[in-house]
Structure formats: structure tokens, C-alpha cells
Amino acid sequence: MDAPNSNEEKVEALQVELEHLKRANEALRLMLEAMSRKCNTLEAYLRESSSQPTGSRLTRIGSYDEHLNKRPRPEVPSMAKPSQVFVKTDPRDKSLIVKDGFQWRKYGQKVTKDNPSPRAYFRCSMAPGCPVKKKVQRCVEDKSFLLATYEGQHNHDVQSSPMESLSSAESSAMLSTTSSPYRVLSNSFRPTITLDLTLSGSNVENSRNPRNLVQETSCNDHDNKRIEDYVASLTKDPNFTVALAAAVARSINGL
């Protein structure tokens, strides 16, 4: 029907994609600059700490994760690391629902200080004793993204198909920013990019998605723990994570 316009539409679409890629390129460049600065700081810190047997700064950085859970539940293993996932949704949709193949029960909602959008708290309701919790909050700068933070590990299998659960809008871009224990996000049915920013030395996720790995860094075990804590704080930076999510999602949509 619209054959005469198809070429013009294609050119228009390509121009839009080109614009997206330009923005993604710029965002990635900024991210690289930021990471370079952080790396320089980290190197300086490692040099200092290696010359000092013990130091108060080391104690502060190492204790970062302990402040995340102010009221830890006994059934949640303390060694379970939070996993963050970006999901692209309709910014007009205020439901804060991330369909990831699991069944969640909402138990609270809060407006946090650094984000006008409310944060929703969910518990896994697929199994009675499942300790997994997740927090879902809209990104401050790009409201088309939901940031889901998973804590704990499921003690049961996924019963429903993730393909059935994901809507087209939500599945258009899912981005895990830490090594995720959730197989549903590791399936290759959708473009999922894993950034192992924890530098934890756990290459299980990387081996699952070798083609999707954007960044991979290896260090010796001695430095891993301190680097991990430091980078964990880096990934908490809202500007960093928002820019990262927007850039990668546009790359996914444009490719």
C-alpha cells in the first residue's frame, strides 16, 4: 500500500537510528572518561593501600555492602549480592511491574530522597519460603527505564516461560549491571547484555553470554575484594547507571 513511501520511511528510520547511535557513542565516550577517572583513583588507592599494612580507609570501603541491608532477614544469606537490571518500559506506565518470569508480591512502596518516582518493594511469592526480594524504581533522568534490584537467590525453579511473561515493550531492552544469579535473564531469547562490574572473579555469567559481554576485567584474587567493593559504589552512581542503560539500550534497538 505505502510502497512509494517505503524508501523515504526507511531513510527516515535510518536517520533516527543514526541519531541514536551518535548519542550512544557520546554517552559511551563519557562513560569511558568517567571509568578512566575512577580507575586512576582506584590505582592510586591500591598503591597507597599496598604500602600500608592496615588503614582506616580500607575498612570504610570494605564495609560498604554492610550498610545496604539495615534490617537483614535471617533467611537471606548475607553473601548474596544485589543484582541490578534495567528494563525499558513505557514512561507513562506507572505500574512499576517488571515481568521477569517470577511471581512477585508487593509489600511496600516508598518515595526516596534522590528520586521523585516511588520505589516499590516486592517479595517472590512463587515458593512459600523463597527469600528473594526486589526493588523497582524508575530512573531519575530517563523515565522510560525501570531499575530492578534483586537480592537473594531463588530456592525453586521457574515455572512459567519468560517469553510468555515479557511484553514487547519490556523485553526490548533488559540490561544486567551486575553478575546476576537469575537464569531467566541469562536466556538468549532477547538481547541481554551483561556487564560484570563487580569484578568478582565469577566468570560463570560471562561464559554463559560470551558474545554479549561488553566489558570484562580480570585481577588477582588479592585485589578483587577491594576492587569489587569500590566498583560496587561506582555502579550506585545514578548518573553513571542511567547513562549506561540509555546508551546500551539505544545500541540494542539500533542494531
* Interface positions with DNA (CB under 7 A): 66-71, 73, 103-110, 112-114, 119-121, 125, 133, 135
Choose between 121 and 186: whose C-beta lies nearer to DNA: 121
Closest separation in Å from C-beta 169 to DNA? 18
- The helix/strand/coil state of 172 is coil
Distance CA 190, CA 169 (A): 12
Closest separation in Å from C-beta 220 to DNA? 30
Helices (H), the chain: 3-51, 56-62, 162-165, 168-171, 183-186, 204-208, 221-235, 238-254
Closest separation in Å from C-beta 148 to DNA? 13
Choose between 107 and 189: whose C-beta lies nearer to DNA: 107
Choose between 17 and 93: whose C-beta lies nearer to DNA: 93
Distance CA 53, CA 79 (A): 26
Dmax (CA) for the chain in angstroms is 75
Closest separation in Å from C-beta 70 to DNA? 4
- The sign of the torsion formed by the CA atoms of 109, 129, 97, 64 equals positive
Choose between 152 and 162: whose C-beta lies nearer to DNA: 152
